[in-house]
Amino acid sequence: MIDKRLVIVSGKGGTGKSAFAAGLALLAQRQGLRVLAAELGDGAGLSAHFGTGPLAFHPREVRPGLHAMHMVRSEALLEYLSIQLGVRTIARFGPFARAFDALATTAPGIREIITIGKLVWEVREDKWDIVVADAPPTGQIGSYLRAPQTINELVPSGRVQAQSEQMAAMLADHATTELVLMTLPEELPVAETREALTWLEKEKLAIGTTLVANRVLDELDSKATAAGPIGEAAVLHRRLHDEQRHWLERFPTDFQLPYLFGILTPGEVAAHISDELEARL
């Protein structure tokens, strides 16, 4: 995972994908890599885990060697127009930019291609050893990964089309790109992850996918019972563990991260995940 150039982290909402992305970025930074962590959604996930306050489009150094950015669509669009499509400055701020922005809201794949395009561009620029993306949830990740194809189907010619073929090639390259899908060992997250995975496989977009189960309880090392809260806690733990095992048996994951007890801040969560990843990778 850490030897890839681009790691895209997705998962059902509430499964801890931002924490995982932050933890992976922190680990890469500790190992001396030049890291870019990119928040793609509207949420403040990454910034909370880094404890930095709101992130901007322009990458900011949040730890030595670790930069973080937020994919602000309007700014990503302007950069896409100038750098990737070679549109001159004057056109970037006029009616053309407005038209393009309208298209980005309406036409399929444009918004997504701008986001994916920025990631691919950052990887190509060789400023970073690894780019970690805190990506939209499983419900939307398919339309991002499929964006280059969608554009090819929609726009039969033109400069956008030429760009999108390069992007598709990088996304399909297992040596470069990895997709991480986060889930929880519960009914709905498992169902949603399985559905997303099936779709990605059908579309041939399941780029070296790694499945991660988060908040997994260990098995209690005792069959004893006890009175009062100590006994009650054991009963709850065993029942939850059985329920989790039920789902993990039906949906095997590549690795599992432990439930964190009594952890207060997003920063602490990311630090724990980072340590956990270091022990596994």
Footprint on this chain of another protein (rule: CB under 8 A): 12-15, 18, 42-45, 48, 85, 87, 91, 94-96, 98-103, 105-109, 111, 137, 143, 154-161, 184, 187-189, 191, 220-222, 224, 226-234, 236-237, 239-240, 243, 261-266, 269
We find the least distance from the C-beta atom of residue 25 to another protein, in angstroms, to be 17
We find the least distance from the C-beta atom of residue 27 to another protein, in angstroms, to be 20
3-class DSSP state of 33 = coil
We find the least distance from the C-beta atom of residue 265 to another protein, in angstroms, to be 7
Select 115 or 177, whichever has its Cβ closest to another protein. Answer: 115
CA angle 249, 23, 126 (to 5 degrees): 115
Select 63 or 246, whichever has its Cβ closest to another protein. Answer: 246
Contact 57, 87 (CB under 8 A): no
We find the least distance from the C-beta atom of residue 274 to another protein, in angstroms, to be 16
3-class DSSP state of 56 = coil
Closest CA to 13 of 41, 38, 53: 41
Select 59 or 109, whichever has its Cβ closest to another protein. Answer: 109
3-class DSSP state of 36 = strand
Select 69 or 113, whichever has its Cβ closest to another protein. Answer: 113
Other Cβ atoms closer than 10 A to 197 = 18
We find the least distance from the C-beta atom of residue 54 to another protein, in angstroms, to be 13
Task: State residue 40 phi and psi, 5-degree precision.
Answer: -95, -30
H-helix or E-strand containing 27?
helix 17-30
